[in-house]
Amino acid sequence: MSEKRGIRMLAVSGCLGYGFTETAFDAGLQSGIDFIACDAGSMDPGPWYLGAGKPYVSEQALRRDLEIMLAGARRVGVPVIIGSAGGGGATPHVAILERLIREIAAERGLHFKLAVISSVPDRDLVAERLKQDRIRPLENVPPLTPETLDQTDVMVAMMGAEPLQAALRGGADVVLAGRCSDSALFAAIPLMQGYPAGPAWHLGKTIECGGAIVRPKIGQDCVIGHLDDDGFEVEPGHPDKRCTPESVAAHTLYENPSPYDFIEPSGVVDTRDATYTALDDRRVRVTGSQYNRAEKYTVKLEGVRCVGHRSIMIAGIRDSRLIEEIHSFCDAMNDRVVTEARNLGIADSDWTLTIRRYGLDGVLGPLEPRRSEPGHELGLVLDVVGRTEEIAASVLAKARYIGMHTEFKGRLSSSGNLAMPFSPSDISVGSAWEFSLWHAMELDDPCEIFPITFSEV
């Protein structure tokens, strides 16, 4: 009877720079893992980070996590895979992490073969695929037009497992990938070794956020995944923490419109028949996951365009009379700002004002079903995006003044019903970006837009 196969992997953290305990990391290394992987990015913080080329965690935090990972991996001789480098995965983001990796290697005397995978697609190729009708919008997104593509300043494509596998086949000890499927970081090696796709991808999805499936959920931490031919097991790296069937299954609801279908470039993970069983008070086994291969290989395109400059102001309201009149008050504010901006010679098309009312409908906006039930406090965020920094500042200054002096029914004082917690009250946020690409593009080859650069470090 042949021995049952198995492969073990360590998910270091939900995001590089979010941190983890060295206790859990060392326990993972000592458990006999075959590779280490960590996601390093997301689009959850919005379009600014991709457009500005900045990470959304500090370099200090990135360096701390990287140093422990690289030193530990070289100590036990296993590969490291990092995806969505620097947050957005565009060229500046990847460059930041590559610099940190080289600096750490020099300081620690570490030597390895580094593979860096770009995820910035060629603009002419994207335009050609658009002409060929091989780009489709994702849910609730309009179809892509040549004009929108031209307006897109920065774009990346989310790679699947194949570019990672190509880097590993090229002998890489450390793989630094641009924008990348989180699950692919953990599925790439098992798929190369012939493990079934359903459990491999589902395990990747389960541990891509590290300690998110661990209880107690105190910060981020390491999780160990063990894959075999029939399913997979997960357990916390830290001896004082545990996984439960509920905590593991709950992650299928995270960042997914459906808990049963996880879309990857090469297919869809189907968890409808998955079962979650507690092996003991720390470990959970999952079986029954399926993988349905897609007819066409597609990658998600993410892109942003700069729409000007943003300035904001934050204020609080605790006057019950004003809260009762908040809808008409905001309408009056908006009308007065339009008039005052025109008086300054600023065209309507050069700015936007959004009034966000936290405590009423600040999260859901017009979709909020309880808009008529405000509490006794409201927080206002005046959000102005102007064509230039000067326009944004000018319009916001008017909006702030108008907010303090606009009349409302039942007012007792002459003015000044907004409380501002900060001075200066008007805050320049910098360049303003919006998503312009959120589409799926067909590829002829899974690696065709993801060039790899190898180097000895």
DSSP 66-94: HHHHHHHHHHHT--EEEESTTTT-SHHHH
Residue 60: CB atoms within 10 A of its CB come to 8
Mean pLDDT over residues 276-292, rounded? 96
How far, in Å, CA of 314 to CA of 303, rounded? 29
Mean pLDDT over residues 128-155, rounded? 96
Higher pLDDT, 253 or 98: 98
Give residue 139's pLDDT: 87
In degrees, rounded to 5, the angle at the alpha carbon of residue 253 between the alpha carbons of residues 247 and 257 is 175
386 pLDDT above the threshold of 80: yes
**Helices (H), ranges, 208-294:** 245-249
How much is the mean pLDDT over the chain? 95
Q: According to the 3-state scheme, what is the secondary structure of 84-133?
A: CCCCCCCHHHHHHHHHHHHHHHHHHCCCCEEEEECCCCCHHHHHHHHHCC
401 pLDDT above the threshold of 90: yes
Percent of the chain with pLDDT over 90: 89
Percent of the chain with pLDDT over 70: 99
The pLDDT confidence band at residue 2, using thresholds 50, 70 and 90, is low
The secondary element (H helix, E strand) that includes residue 199 is: helix 197-207
Give residue 3's pLDDT: 62
- Name the DSSP letter for residue 193: T
Give residue 368's pLDDT: 87
Q: Is the peptide bond before 451 cis (omega within 30 degrees of 0)?
A: no
Mean pLDDT over residues 449-453, rounded? 98
374 pLDDT above the threshold of 80: no
Is there a contact between 10 and 81 (Cβ–Cβ < 8 Å)? Answer: no
The pLDDT confidence band at residue 151, using thresholds 50, 70 and 90, is very high
Give residue 186's pLDDT: 98
pLDDT in tens, 215-266: 998 888 999 999 999 999 999 999 999 999 999 999 988 878 888 999 999 9
Mean pLDDT over residues 420-428, rounded? 95
71 pLDDT above the threshold of 50: yes
Give residue 362's pLDDT: 85
Task: Kindly list the distances between the CA atom of residue 391 and the CA atoms of 22, 210, 334, 396, in Å, as whole numbers in the listed order.
Answer: 49, 44, 16, 8
365 pLDDT above the threshold of 90: no
Is there a contact between 12 and 49 (Cβ–Cβ < 8 Å)? Answer: no
1 pLDDT above the threshold of 70: no
Higher pLDDT, 364 or 36: 36
15 pLDDT above the threshold of 70: yes
Mean pLDDT over residues 186-211, rounded? 96
Nearest in space to 37 (alpha carbons), one of 211, 237, 174, 172: 174
- Name the DSSP letter for residue 215: B
344 pLDDT above the threshold of 70: yes
Straight-line distance from the first to the last Cα atom of the chain, in angstroms, rounded to the nearest whole number: 43
Mean pLDDT over residues 408-420, rounded? 88
Q: Global pTM?
A: 0.92
Q: Is the peptide bond before 374 cis (omega within 30 degrees of 0)?
A: no
Nearest in space to 448 (alpha carbons), one of 297, 294, 303, 304: 297
Nearest in space to 178 (alpha carbons), one of 332, 22, 50, 17: 50
